[in-house]
Amino acid sequence: MMAVERSDVDLGKRQLSVARSDWKGQVTATKGGRVRYVPMTVRLAEALKQASKQARSLEGSRVMCDKKGTPLSQKEVQVIMRRVGRRANVKPGVHILRHTFCSHLAMRGAPAKAIQGAGGPSGPDDDAAIHARESGSARCSDQTARRRHPQPWQ
């Protein structure tokens, strides 16, 4: 989320494209090496619309930046998320957002394959777990995938 640029935001389609990653200031391809498209809620789209009106004069192209347009550091994002988590009385942290997002998709009836695509990096372990669940198998064929992603699919 730290590497999302304004050009990655499509307010008309209400979706973000996640095309790159920022790890400790280094921008690279995403972990899986592919672009993902993530739907936005109406609230998020409206917030980004308001933010883009204010950000037109900024130098930087990142969505997550300070008032001068400088991209936020990993530490700054972690501090903000801890503060927000305490205010909302939820478990604080950045990574929990992915699990929460996937859980909400599941609660709204999204197919497992769609959740997998929107939720982030996947590999053969995740694919095996998804197919086992979609086929109605109560037992996941790969213990690792179940440990890694216990929340969204249970």
Structural domains in the chain, CATH included, are 1-72 (1.10.443.10), 94-154 (no CATH)
CA angle 58, 64, 66 (to 5 degrees): 55
Cα(153)–Cα(112) distance, integer angstroms: 8
Q: How far out from the chain centre does Cα 142 lie? A: 24
Please enumerate in sequence order all residues whose Cβ is within 8 A of that of 99, keeping only pairs 6 or more positions apart, or say none: 149, 151, 152
Averaged pLDDT of the chain? 76
Give the predicted TM-score (pTM) of the model.
Answer: 0.62
pLDDT, tens only, 58-104: 667 888 888 888 889 989 988 998 898 888 888 877 777 778 878 88
Contact between residue 27 and residue 21 where contact means Cβ atoms under 8 Å apart: yes
What is the reported pLDDT for 145? 38
Please determine, for residue 128, whether its predicted confidence score (pLDDT) is greater than 60: no
Statement: residue 124 has pLDDT above 60: no
Please report, for residues 1, 5, 49, 51, the alpha-carbon distance to residue 55 in angstroms, rounded to integers and kept in the order given: 17, 12, 10, 6
